[in-house]
A and B are shown apart, each in its own frame.
Chain A
């Protein structure tokens, strides 16, 4: 097992699993929350666009200075929360040139939006567009402060929605792609592992039965395998997903019912060679029942091989799940990488040029598949050292 610690894939899988378990805690908001403007670019991408910002003013912190080196933000909104209204005090907005706007008196429950007509009229602005372009006409130092002196209990919250947000930007609904990406790991891992476990269970039992019993059992099972391997399965999966509802567990069940064939073939072949081995024959001669022989002798013999085929089967399940989700045949409430790509395609990522919506989920799927392929290769080489050095990874 020491070799396992040297494989990059093992550590990668450990990291991804940790992210799947605890990753959502890295973010303040839930992955479903709409945190910024739709199609915001990642923070590191376009430095001339303003990032999305939240400013807060209060009695103890009455002024903020902003060094503005960007174009105007796309949206401006302001909220005043207080229990002590102060109608003679104002929120004052000073432009770099010295011009000032008095935005609003400090009354409780004030909510201003840059698109609001009355707000724009009160500032003496034309009624078209968002007020933010008038509030941010140039680059320079802006000062936002409260007028008047003395104590005031309350807070002014200003939100400037820019074109950039977070590590990976936002999607068409303004959700944080980094948070969605982390939430998607969970679905891919769950589906990949559980669908393969179930499929392996099915394949092993059917393969053992076919190999050990022979005769009709063998014929029926192996003809079914041939049939399922010779027709396109995606249409069937699509029909079943549409028919059965789109829940995660239904999906796992559907995927496993149609992916046990390879395992069954391998196990059957192994069983066939073992069935006539001397020690199995001796056991039969001693009167051991078939169930005992299968459970205590044949199954343990096949286990190492099974472990390898199982690991190599995970990418298939992950890719199938992603494909079905991409076609829109998954639960829209469950965040998965396939679903993210589906939404990127159906909701205008192309017209927005939002390539940052495509890359994280797609590369995530590929990485996870490579991890399992590499682990499978490792296990396969442990089982059969002749395979060593054959392939990359």
Chain B
């Protein structure tokens, strides 16, 4: 049994190691002279060399890589080329926003989607089922940023119910309750948009799985035994639904984290995703590398967590030999 946990943790660490390599290769290969973006062209060559030295850009690539790994593992990401402040400080102020945005919307959309999907599966051919099927198809074909832009246009520009941009008003209100309310007011539309975009896919998956499960023999047996419907759905069917649901959650995680870049850009939120976009377009290696690493870390740790939950919900996977999922 401990072998399962060890294998999962091991593969998560391996992924993280590969992310480090990828990260280094990608962001060191970015074009443009990074030093050129932070200094005046009138600087003397000595001053430029000095700056290269400060940022460690004069070393050979392997040395740079080792330094990079060491500093990344200690969460010391260096100094941003663009803002001149330590990257870690920049990220620390942004990470909570990203986590709140993704976490809240994920929980809400999965709850709503699961509820709707289960209802739809029990009422085949109903209007609700048609709605679920359509919302699933639409959520796979509408670009997220388009839906978000339309929401922004409708509920922030045309009807000024919500703010057009940002995570807090400028200047922010006083500490305490007003601050919290202001924050919630700013986050409402982004979270709503992500729920709107996300629940359709969930509902469709849950409905498809549930339809299959409800056709199984053990459900028929439970019905024959005269168990109450509530008991059958929650106790028998839902229990069987959980493991595949976790798999889907696992597979959708990277996409959800990628979605943070777009959502934060549309709503101009103070988050890691938008920071990453700014860093990539501004050739800011340390910032880009650190934000990507953080997003990957977020994905891998959620991945690991749901893997472990998977092991808890489905005893069969703990027994399985080899690494295959």
Contacts and interface: CB of A to CB of B under 8 A. Distances in A.
Given A231-B296, A232-B295, A243 B149 contact: no
A327 B266 CA distance: 9
B157 interface: yes
A94 B138 CA distance: 56
Interface residues of A, number: 47
Interface of B (DSSP majority class): helix
A344 interface: yes
Interface in A187-238: 222, 226-227, 229-236, 238
Contacts of B250: 230
B111 to A, nearest CB: 23
Interface of A (DSSP majority class): helix
A388 to B, nearest CB: 14
A243 B30 contact: yes
Contact of A392 (B26, B134, B277): B134
Interface string B298-325: 0110010000000000000000000011
A238 B152 contact: no
A235 B149 contact: no
Interface string B241-258: 000000000110111011
Contacts of B26: 236, 239-240, 243
Given A238-B277, A243-B31, A326-B262, A227 B18 contact: yes
Contact of A230 (B261, B280, B299): B299
A329 B281 contact: yes
A362 interface: yes
A240 B27 CA distance: 9
A341 interface: yes
A353 B152 CA distance: 11
Interface in A318-368: 319, 322-323, 326-329, 338, 341, 344-345, 349-351, 353, 355, 358-359, 361-362, 365-367
A351 B158 CA distance: 10
A239 B280 contact: yes
7 tightest A-B CB contacts, nearest first: A362-B146, A234-B258, A369-B141, A232-B257, A392-B133, A232-B258, A232-B254
Given A243-B29, A369-B142, A373-B141, 16 more contacts: A232-B258, A233-B258, A235-B258, A240-B26, A242-B283, A243-B31, A315-B141, A327-B277, A344-B149, A353-B158, A365-B141, A366-B138, A366-B141, A373-B137, A392-B137, A393-B137
Interface of A: 222, 226-227, 229-236, 238-240, 242-243, 315, 319, 322-323, 326-329, 338, 341, 344-345, 349-351, 353, 355, 358-359, 361-362, 365-367, 369-370, 373, 390-393
Interface of B: 11, 15, 18-19, 22, 26-27, 29-31, 130, 133-134, 137-138, 140-147, 149-150, 152-153, 156-158, 164, 208, 250-251, 253-255, 257-259, 261-262, 265-266, 276-277, 280-281, 283, 288, 291-292, 295-296, 299-300, 303, 324-325
25 contacts: A227-B15, A231-B299, A232-B296, A233-B254, A234-B258, A234-B261, A235-B261, A238-B277, A243-B29, A323-B143, A323-B144, A326-B143, A327-B261, A329-B281, A344-B149, A350-B164, A358-B153, A362-B147, A365-B141, A365-B146, A369-B142, A370-B138, A390-B208, A392-B134, A393-B137
